[in-house]
Amino acid sequence: EKAHAAGASAFVFDEVETGIDDRHHVAAGYDADVLLRWGDPIFANAPEFDPANQSAAAQAKQFGYNNDYVGYIPLEGSSEHGLLVVNHEYTNPHLMFAGLVTIGEKDGKKMLQQAPLSKEQVDIEIAAHGGAVVEIRKVDGKWQVVRDGKLNRRITAGTEMQLSGPVAGHDRVKTNADPSGLKVLGTVNNCAGGVTPWGTYIMAEENIHGYFSGELPADHPEAANYKRMGIPEGAYEWAAHYDRYDLAKEPNEPNRFGWIVEVDVDDPTSTPKKRTALGRFKHEGAESIVAKDGRVVFYLGDDERFDYVYKFVTAGAFNPDDRAANMDLLDEGTLYTARFDEDGSVEWLPLTFGEGPLTAENSFSSQADVLIETRRAADLLGATKMDRPEDIQPNGVNGKVYVMLTNNTRRTDEQVDAANPRAKNAFGHIIEIIEDEADFTATSGKWEVLLKCGDPSVAEIGASFSTSTTENGWFGMPDNCAVDTAGRLWVSTDGNNAKDTGRTDGLWAVDTEGEARATSKLFFRVPVGAEMCGPLFTPDDETAFVAVQHPGDGGEEWEGFGRPSYYEDLSTRWPDFQPDMPVRPAVVVITKQGGGKIAV
């Protein structure tokens, strides 16, 4: 352990320089090795990736697309052998498939648009969504995939799941294909997630609105509910081939999405459960911590401009000696939403049917109604409208909770409040919550802004990084985050990838304690077009996993023209750099050269 002078960062490493190019960069003295790429076989009988002849059957046995959340579930307590659990949030058909059509030219480059997808391509998309459970092992200091691991599993947008908790079997979740209201096929848009104290894998269903198309029948009772969720957006072409994504044909199907999903990784044949007690909204993630009395607290963000922060407190206590006894803890408990007051206090308001405004007067007739329309219930309770709540991380070392608020350029001067202090908030901020009595189940606490993000050299932005933060160290758009075993905060970003700023997204180490508070240092950055997801540290702090999502995505630069495909745009062919290989999202594993804890 090195001693630090007062005000020195708790993180010991030489910062990466910002920049933008076709590859990833990590701090000197560290290795950043690609571990799992889109299309990598994860079963003994899975075919090798062949992008020109990809099929849904092959994809279902291969690592999926757009890795987001990364979790690590140790096997027998090991930091060198465990299950990596990874969400596959969404698909980018323009980067996955050939068959783009040229619609014009701009600056000498072809402008391309994705042609309508075939049913086989839609089926590949469905199989590329969901999540993966992959056994991995560290051998001679390097991590390897155990391709024949007996717990390896792919979960897709077609995997059968069970609706569980208060909404299970309710009339509002019954469909023609499932008159029981208990069985749902698949999970979509799993952004961040979590691993529970009892070793299950949590997937959070976020932007579900994109998968639905069509129009509800006239005067349908779900119209206001769906409008509040932005349904339908029709970003995907799935409804052309599957009736359940068409509101005209299956008007209740969207009520079966927008939940927290729990997967028992110990049994690869188990049915994942949609845990409805944790509410229905655009779930970012679900990181948890065991409170003093043994109950378990899950912190939940709803990633929408002017939406809310939530937490769920289980009714039962965690039993560390009996895994089976914990397996339905997520079906019973209290869901709360946060009101951040101007005096620096936070109140957690229960979303409980029959209490306050959550009654028949506001057309709630059961807890199931409150949960299906969680946002409307939270509106009525007067929760604080936030600047897009993303990942929320309880820190068991310092007892605090970190809330990533990614941005909200639509907030006006009149809408500014203490917890969302900037109008036109382009760069986001991070709030720190301190629950009363350091009890995570508390219904009140204190909060303060840890960091207002953005370039501190531009006064109008109003960023609040410490003066020790270098020009490489500042960032905007905090999204995912992690706390290492030492209790230090790491933040990954989504949106710093504009070519005119010369920066990409990355992983930053952020001091929270002492005089170094609000100092940030760049540890890793992604190739052009990507956002940074993960991150996750093994319990020994010797490995960090990060997820490079949508590398090579042309983004806004091509808005209105469709986006470039890998066949035409050579901005990057990360991570293979082969002419016959598309750019591929991948999980990268970071270790210190020669071994040892990271950033110590």
Angle at 117 between CA 114 and CA 118, to 5 degrees: 150
CB atoms inside a 10 Å sphere around CB 17? 11
| Cis check: omega of the bond before 232, within 30 degrees of 0 | yes
592 phi/psi in degrees, rounded to 5? -80, 135
Give the closest residue to 298 by CA, choosing from 355, 256, 351, 260. 260
Q: Rule CB under 5 A: which of 333-372 touch Ca ion? A: none
Ordered alpha helix ranges (H), 80-143: 93-96, 119-128
CB burial of residue 486 (10 Å; 0-12, 13-18, 19+): middle
> Considering beta carbons, is residue 408 or 466 the nearer one to Ca ion?
408
Q: Give least dist CB 191 to ligand FEO, A.
A: 3
Structure tokens belonging to residue 490: 């790491």
Residue 206 binds which of ligand FEO, Ca ion, none (CB < 5-8 A, kind-dependent)? ligand FEO
Q: E strands of 107-223, at which residues?
A: 109-114, 130-139, 142-145, 153-155, 160-164, 183-185, 190-195, 201-205
With respect to Ca ion, which residue has the nearer C-beta, 287 or 390? 390
As to burial, measured by CB atoms within 10 angstroms (0-12 exposed, 13-18 middle, 19+ buried), residue 325 is: middle
In the shown chain, the binding pattern of residues 173 to 192 toward ligand FEO, with x for contact by CB under 6 A and - for none, equals ------------------x-
List all residues 6 or more positions away from 586 whose beta carbon is below 8 Å from its beta carbon. Answer: 34, 35, 36, 37, 38, 67, 547, 548, 551, 574, 575
**Nearest alpha-carbon partner for 287 in 476, 550, 489:** 489
Contact between 390 and ligand FEO (CB under 6 A)? yes
Q: What is the rounded CA–CA span in Å between residue 262 and residue 12? A: 36
Total residues contacting ligand FEO by CB under 6 A comes to 7
Please select the residue that binds ligand FEO; options are 262, 479, 484, 553, rule is CB under 6 A: 479
117 near Ca ion, rule: CB under 5 A: no
Q: Which of residues 157-196 bind Ca ion (CB under 5 A)?
A: 191
| Residue carrying the six token digits 């199989």 | 127
Query: Can you spell out the DSSP letters for 446-472?
Result: EEEEEEE-S-TTSGGG-----TT--TT
- Is position 307 an interface residue for ligand FEO (rule: CB under 6 A)? no
- Taking only Cα atoms into account, the Rg of the chain, rounded to an integer number of angstroms, comes to 23
Q: Which is nearer to ligand FEO, 133 or 300 (CB)?
A: 300
206 scored as a contact of ligand FEO (CB under 6 A):
yes
Question: Of 84 and 163, which CB lies nearer to Ca ion in the complex structure?
Answer: 84
Interatomic CA distance for residues 332 and 275, integer angstroms: 9
> Cβ of residue 355: shortest distance to ligand FEO, in angstroms?
29
- Minimum Å gap between C-beta 276 and Ca ion is 22
From the CB of 336, what's the least distance to ligand FEO, in Å?
20
Of the pair 175, 493, the CB lying nearest ligand FEO is at: 493
| 432 interface partner picked from ligand FEO, Ca ion, none, CB below 5 to 8 A per type | none
Q: Which residues of 150-185 are buried (b: 16+ CB within 10 A; e: fewer)?
A: eebbbbbbbbebbbbbbbbebebbbbeebeebbbbb
Q: In a 3-state reduction of DSSP, which class is residue 246? A: strand
Using the rule CB under 5 A, which residue among 494, 505, 511, 569 binds Ca ion? 494
Contact at 8 Å (CB) between 78 and 542?
no
Q: What spatial distance separates the first Cα and last Cα of the chain, rounded to whole Å?
A: 7
Residue 379, interface with ligand FEO (CB under 6 A)? Answer: no
Nearer Cβ to ligand FEO (250/390): 390
Residue ranges in 13-52 that form contacts with Ca ion under rule CB under 5 A: none
**At closest approach, how far in Å is the CB of 193 from ligand FEO?**
11
- Quote the strand ranges of 253-307, DSSP E: 260-263, 273-275, 287-290, 295-301, 305-307
**Residue 589 is a binding residue for ligand FEO (CB under 6 A):** no
Least gap, CB of 311 to Ca ion (angstroms): 18
Q: Among 210, 203, 385, which residue's Cα sits nearest to residue 307?
A: 385
Question: Among residues 123, 205, 250, 284, which is the contact residue for ligand FEO, using CB under 6 A?
Answer: 284
Shortest distance, position 66 Cβ to ligand FEO, whole Å: 9
Provide the minimum distance between the beta carbon of 174 and ligand FEO in the complex, in angstroms, as a whole number: 29
Our CA angle for 220, 224, 225, nearest 5°, is: 100
Question: Least Å distance between CB 388 and Ca ion?
Answer: 8
| Residue 89 vs 541, nearer CB to ligand FEO | 89
According to the binding rule CB under 6 A, does residue 303 interact with ligand FEO?
yes
> What minimum distance in Å lies between the beta carbon of 206 and ligand FEO?
5
Looking at the Cβ atoms of 70 and 329, the one nearer to ligand FEO is 70
Give the nearer residue to Ca ion in terms of CB position, either 306 or 561.
306
Partner in contact with 541, chosen from ligand FEO, Ca ion, none, beta carbon below 5 to 8 Å by kind: none
CB 89, min distance to ligand FEO, A? 6
Show contacts with ligand FEO in window 78-117 (CB under 6 A).
89
Q: Which is nearer to ligand FEO, 388 or 400 (CB)?
A: 388
Given the rule CB under 5 A, which of 22-30, 49-57, 62-70, 113-121 is the region that contacts Ca ion? Answer: 62-70
Beta carbon nearer to ligand FEO, 54 or 493:
493
Residue 479 in contact with Ca ion, rule: CB under 5 A: yes
Nearest 10 degrees: Cα torsion 4, 8, 12, 18? -170
CA-CA distances (angstroms) from residue 186 to 140, 244, 247, 272?
Answer: 38, 12, 17, 9
Nearer Cβ to Ca ion (484/494)? 494
Binding site for Ca ion (CB under 5 A): 68, 191, 390, 479, 494
Binding site for ligand FEO (CB under 6 A): 89, 191, 206, 284, 303, 390, 479
